[in-house]
């Protein structure tokens, strides 16, 4: 991957710079347990890299992270891309 960038530091900065609502506080606590290694972006695509294979990302965290990343950076989640046949 050529233009790969880790967006996780930006997420930390965002969460630390505001007063968190209930959902954001749960996400912050989950991240603080070192569960997510990176949010990797390459060109207009992004994906998540967890710290280990048995780390479980709750669905509400997954959806919130997808929405935040898509909205802030105008990126598409890797597995939301429709194949072209």
pLDDT score of 65 more than 90: yes
pLDDT (tens digit, 9 = 90+) per residue, 12-43? Answer: 999 999 999 999 999 999 999 999 999 999 98
Distances (CA, A) of 2 to 5, 17, 41, 78: 9, 31, 10, 16
Q: How far apart are CA 67 and CA 85, in angstroms?
A: 27
- pLDDT over threshold 70, residue 1: no
pTM above 0.85, yes or no: yes
């Amino acid at each position: 991957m050529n233009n790969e960038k880790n967006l996780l530091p930006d997420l930390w900065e965002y969460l630390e710079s505001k007063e968190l609502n209930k959902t954001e506080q749960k996400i912050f606590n989950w991240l603080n347990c070192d569960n997510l290694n990176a949010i990797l972006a390459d060109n207009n695509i992004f994906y998540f890299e967890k710290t280990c294979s048995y780390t479980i990302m709750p669905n509400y965290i997954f959806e919130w992270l997808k929405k935040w990343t898509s909205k802030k950076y105008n990126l598409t989640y890797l597995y939301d891309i429709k194949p072209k046949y």
